[in-house]
Structure 1
Amino acid sequence: MKHFSIGSIVHKAIKHLVVVACGIYCALITAAIASEAERPNVLLIITDDQSIDTIHALGNDAIHTPNIDRLAETGMAFTHVFNQGSWSGAVCAPSRQMINTGRNLHLTGFSPKSNKTSHPLMGETFRKSGYETFVTGKWHVGDDALKRSFDIGRAVHEGGMAPISKGGQWQPWLTDFGEKIKWKKEQKNQHTSEAFADAAIDYIKGKEARNDKPFLMYVAFTAPHDPRQSPQSYVDKYPAESISLPPNFRPMPEIDSGDYNIRDEALMTFPRTEQQTKEFIGEYYAMVEHMDHQIGRILDTLDASPYAKNTYIIFTSDHGLAVGKHGLAGKQSVYDHSIRAPFIMVGKGIPQNARAKGMFYLNSIFATTAELAGIEVPDSVQGPSVLPIINGEKDVMNDYIYGSYRHFQRMARSHRYKLVYYPLLKKNVLFDLKNDPWEMTDISTQPGSDKIIEQLTAELDLLKVEVGDPLTNDDPANSYQPFTGKIRASFQKDAIGQPQVLNVH
């Protein structure tokens, strides 16, 4: 099912205007954003594993994020933006594949068996439309897509994370290419957040002397993904005794969905302790604030450049993270803390200090940025532009949202209710998000809930078709091939609260 905004239909009907004598390519921007002879630049900032509740301006008084706050105060922040889920324990890979293809979870062309796609990529599309494309930071979408998408790469982290065994955050292996550099990979003695910020700053400072093309900058931090390493001065700001536990902190998960021995969950012991969880959150906040400072350096450089008034900024993350909520540490769930991501847009024509619900997926970034740039959106793109919300034409993009994790969990949520279905357990869980935003009370057995479950189950069936989900409820593990991947052991608590192997699927 493909969605079209009014703006995107109009743009597909209008040809680009080329003024040959001046060599200037003019593009028609959506009606609510002023037309300009000079095409706008785009700065996309993507963080890694950043929960929706880690931004001071959006409600967390315990964290210091003055530069992300600055974006929220000068632009529009969306509160309900979703990653569709993952067919992999490495949730960030499918998320970035959706962002860069604009397609739905199971339809990107990528899978555990394929690290290539034939679909047009966002950077590739901008590049073919006359933009200079630049990347720094985490990629995790494969070498073929990297080379198709970007003219220049500096301090590119090609993999999924920066493990301690390969230098961690302080000594990462980073790749440079393009602009007289063929392909150079080396280990750097610099924190990843600082290295990526330096690369972005150098790009902005050197751009005017190189050419007058508009640019697409793809700046992707590995923070605050573990290993949670940041300067001690930042760690000292968040001692465990200053940290409050979230209301939905639990020592153990309430439901064993089948994948709780994954690497992310092994970062903390079972059962979770209050002290350990507070330390975990403190290290997480420290890494977010250190990254926020680097984002501020990039914004300051942009503000002082010739591009300040003609650059759209999108700030987001690939998904959220549990960090102790519901007895979980990672992002392999469909709870809001893991499937929602922060999302802020700044630029000409975008309301300032505004808030909107959104109800859209991260794969809308492709169409949104293309429409802002006056670039025709490829027919392959499924995530619609969200400019109708910015322009006041819509309040939200969707009334129902899909979510999943491998063959273990499925989700359909409306504005008020969230249904979580566990295919291997044949179990429904229902949350009333209006009265229970922390998702702590299952109301599936309460009177009247059967009709809500029936409605959301029907919506889930429709959403599964839309995103290409191959899972069938009668045989979830086998039907989910080739997306199943390695199937891990399940865990449950023993008599003294320690995890034990429940079964192996």
Structure 2
Amino acid sequence: MKLPTFKLIAVCIISLMAMNTFAKKTKKPNVLVIYTDDHRYTGIHALGGQAVRTPNIDQLANTGIVFTNAYLMGAFSGATCMPSRAMLLSGRQLFTLKGQGHTMPKEHITIGETFKNNGYHTHMVGKWHQDRESLSRSFDDGQTVMGIGVYLTDHYRMPLWDWDKTGAFPKKDAYLLEFDANGNETRRPVAKTDKRGPTGTEELGPHTSEIFARNAATYIKNYKDKEPFFMYLAFHAPHDPRQAPKKYQDMYPTDQIQLPPSYLPQHPFDNGALFLRDEELGPWPRTPQVAREHLAAYYAIITHLDAQIGKVIQALKESGEYDNTIIILSGDSGLAVGCHGLLGKQNVYDEDGIHVPFIVSGGATKQSGVRSDALCYIHDIYPTTCDLAGIQAPASVNGLSLKPVINGEVAQVRDHTYHAYRQHQRAYRKGDFKLIEFVKANDYHKKKGEFVAGSRVTLLFNTANDPWETTNLAFLPQYHETLKTMQAEMQAEAIKLGDNTQSTGEKYNFWDYYN
């Protein structure tokens, strides 16, 4: 029987509505990866309970999943953010990167490439610490790129590039954003006379965090394409120089800053990384006043960063995309800022160097307010993000997906972690204990082919009871068997990972001197 015209129209409308609803439900989620720089785990109030104010990131943590034991595997470069980003972007562990991590060869398929190959529009904003070729192949487009070989060490005078479709990003195209006499934002080319900072202030020009957040928010608000987007938003903050607008500096009076339990005026021995740029940012000894000044500035730039992240999240909500977006937030390394007498991140202590925030949040994330103590690395973020988006990670990825942990299928995908900093430091964590071994060779006799006049220091911590790593248990008789077991397992793991060769390009191998 033929349906009346009005009934036929009604059936068509209902069918179209059903199809539209199905399409919305089956649309792949957007993915926003937010990567912060030198941002230790306790640099987020909701995670570490410290005095730093991070209301927007706290909200992400409280409405998502927090991995409380996420770590950087290590670095063979004093600029630890370079291998850290290579591990995040390639999903590969430290000892399988190319060299120190600056170059990501084509066979190391990046996370941007993977999402691009699976129907996503890929976009990046912010810091890039790898080679230009891997940048251009990873993203369909981007804006406001920094970090490609030109620095002024200043958040208010940061050389930037607009997205370059050719992938060249020539130095001549780098520019600075400044305010003119009327307070309007202008740009000018970087000049040879521009001296390194930090000399900029909020009166001179916009802060890097403001620039990156503004451009990311604009992209989200204007995004109209049918395919989902994958955005890599890489902030330079809270990396030094720890500059923030006065409003944020005033939130942290130096005399009210409480130092953490691991504060020391001086590191008790040479760890192999005491004389480099990061450690020269403050005088020795790190008096309580010096440490408070650095920590106050660190908190101020983090709170300013948090406000900018809040603007990006608000843009997602205003655009209607929040409910269909997975938000990944992580830091690239820890930072000492006075802990153990250090200021930098060239170490394998937890908060000082390798313990990072890792949050999975956003409207497309099913779980809310979940804390997991599953051990994981930064290079596990890539396969985890793919799994959450329903995408197959490529074979070049050797990190592990945490989706089984998120789904409650398993409690852990790892039962230990291993860490390295150049040829001087190694760490091994299992259960409640963490072993750190330091070696330092003062000289290498080329003719004899041997090391002379060096040192070795062993530390053992119960991180369950002593998370700030203040009490060395290695010399106590009751921990002798634990120590020997940890040392043997660490050496076995080194062989398994490929850390028993000189393939990293170091002058000598850690294990040559250790043994």
Shared fold (TM-score greater than 0.5)? yes
Q: Structure 1 residues 110, 145: closer, same or farther in 2, change over 3 A?
A: farther
Q: Structure 1 residues 287, 357: closer, same or farther in 2, change over 3 A?
A: same
Residues 43 and 52 of structure 2 are in contact (CA less than 8 Å); yes or no, is this contact kept in structure 1? yes
Stretch deviating more after TM superposition (168-177 or 183-192): 183-192
Match in the other structure for 1:30:
none
Any idea what the Cα deviations from partners look like across 1:316-337, whole Å, max 9, x if unmatched? Answer: 1001101100000011111111
Equivalent-residue separation in structure 2 for 1:116 and 1:181 (angstroms): 15
Any idea what the Cα deviations from partners look like across 1:183-217, whole Å, max 9, x if unmatched? Answer: 55322232100000011011101211xx2111111
Give the C-alpha shift of residue 314 in structure 1.
0.6
Equivalent-residue separation in structure 1 for 2:288 and 2:316 (angstroms): 42
Give the secondary-structure state (helix, strand or coil) at the position aligned to 2:356: strand
Any idea what the Cα deviations from partners look like across 1:206-253, whole Å, max 9, x if unmatched? Answer: 211xx2111111001100000111101111111111101111111110
Of the three residues 341, 346, 356, the one matched with 1:327 is: 341
Stretch deviating more after TM superposition (304-313 or 403-412): 304-313
Give the secondary-structure state (helix, strand or coil) at the position aligned to 1:422: strand
Equivalent-residue separation in structure 1 for 2:148 and 2:468 (angstroms): 33
How many residue pairs match? The answer is 445
Q: Structure 1 residues 224, 160: closer, same or farther in 2, change over 3 A?
A: farther
Of the three residues 69, 77, 82, the one matched with 2:66 is: 77
Equivalent-residue separation in structure 2 for 1:319 and 1:180 (angstroms): 31
Of the three residues 106, 110, 122, the one matched with 1:133 is: 122
Give the C-alpha shift of residue 349 in structure 1.
4.4
Q: Structure 1 residues 69, 484: closer, same or farther in 2, change over 3 A?
A: farther
Q: How does 1:54-453 map to 2 (within 5 A)?
A: 54-111=43-100, 116=105, 118-159=107-148, 162-164=151-153, 168-177=154-163, 185-189=174-178, 190-208=206-224, 211-337=225-351, 338-347=353-362, 348-424=364-440, 425-453=455-483
Letter in 1 for 2:304: H
Give the secondary-structure state (helix, strand or coil) at the position aligned to 1:177: coil
Residues 416 and 430 of structure 2 are in contact (CA less than 8 Å); yes or no, is this contact kept in structure 1? yes
Any idea what the Cα deviations from partners look like across 1:266-317, whole Å, max 9, x if unmatched? Answer: 1111111111110100000000000000000000000111312111001110
Q: Structure 1 residues 44, 408: closer, same or farther in 2, change over 3 A?
A: same
Equivalent-residue separation in structure 2 for 1:287 and 1:195 (angstroms): 14
Q: Structure 1 residues 136, 427: closer, same or farther in 2, change over 3 A?
A: same
Letter in 1 for 2:482: I
Any idea what the Cα deviations from partners look like across 1:96-124, whole Å, max 9, x if unmatched? Answer: 00111101102022437856453111111
Equivalent-residue separation in structure 2 for 1:298 and 1:77 (angstroms): 20
Q: How does 1:25-36 map to 2 (within 5 A)?
A: 36=25
Residues 128 and 234 of structure 2 are in contact (CA less than 8 Å); yes or no, is this contact kept in structure 1? yes
Any idea what the Cα deviations from partners look like across 1:156-188, whole Å, max 9, x if unmatched? Answer: 113489543xxx100211122268999553222
Equivalent-residue separation in structure 2 for 1:97 and 1:146 (angstroms): 11
Stretch deviating more after TM superposition (111-120 or 290-299): 111-120
Q: Does 1:462 align with 2:488?
A: no
Give the root-mean-square deviation of aligned CA atoms: 2.5
Q: Taking structure 1 as the reference length, what is the TM-score of the superposition?
A: 0.83
Give the secondary-structure state (helix, strand or coil) at the position aligned to 2:26: coil
Q: Structure 1 residues 387, 114: closer, same or farther in 2, change over 3 A?
A: closer
Identity of aligned pairs, percent?
40
Give the secondary-structure state (helix, strand or coil) at the position aligned to 1:276: helix
Letter in 2 for 1:361: Y
Q: Structure 1 residues 126, 114: closer, same or farther in 2, change over 3 A?
A: closer
Residues 133 and 215 of structure 1 are in contact (CA less than 8 Å); yes or no, is this contact kept in structure 2? yes
Match in the other structure for 1:11:
none
Return the index of the structure with the highest Cα Rg: 2
Match in the other structure for 2:38:
49
Equivalent-residue separation in structure 2 for 1:161 and 1:444 (angstroms): 45
Q: Structure 1 residues 201, 241: closer, same or farther in 2, change over 3 A?
A: same
Equivalent-residue separation in structure 2 for 1:452 and 1:160 (angstroms): 46
Letter in 2 for 1:177: W
Residues 138 and 156 of structure 1 are in contact (CA less than 8 Å); yes or no, is this contact kept in structure 2? yes
Equivalent-residue separation in structure 2 for 1:73 and 1:198 (angstroms): 24
Letter in 1 for 2:456: K
Residues 153 and 175 of structure 1 are in contact (CA less than 8 Å); yes or no, is this contact kept in structure 2? no
Equivalent-residue separation in structure 1 for 2:145 and 2:139 (angstroms): 11
Equivalent-residue separation in structure 2 for 1:99 and 1:466 (angstroms): 21
Give the secondary-structure state (helix, strand or coil) at the position aligned to 1:148: helix
Residues 162 and 227 of structure 1 are in contact (CA less than 8 Å); yes or no, is this contact kept in structure 2? no
Give the C-alpha shift of residue 129 in structure 1.
1.6
Equivalent-residue separation in structure 2 for 1:151 and 1:259 (angstroms): 39
Structure 1 runs not aligned, ≥5 long: 1-22, 28-34, 472-478, 488-505
Letter in 2 for 1:221: F
Give the secondary-structure state (helix, strand or coil) at the position aligned to 1:403: strand
Structure 2 runs not aligned, ≥5 long: 1-18, 179-205, 441-454, 511-515
Stretch deviating more after TM superposition (264-273 or 432-441): 432-441
Give the C-alpha shift of residue 363 in structure 1.
0.3
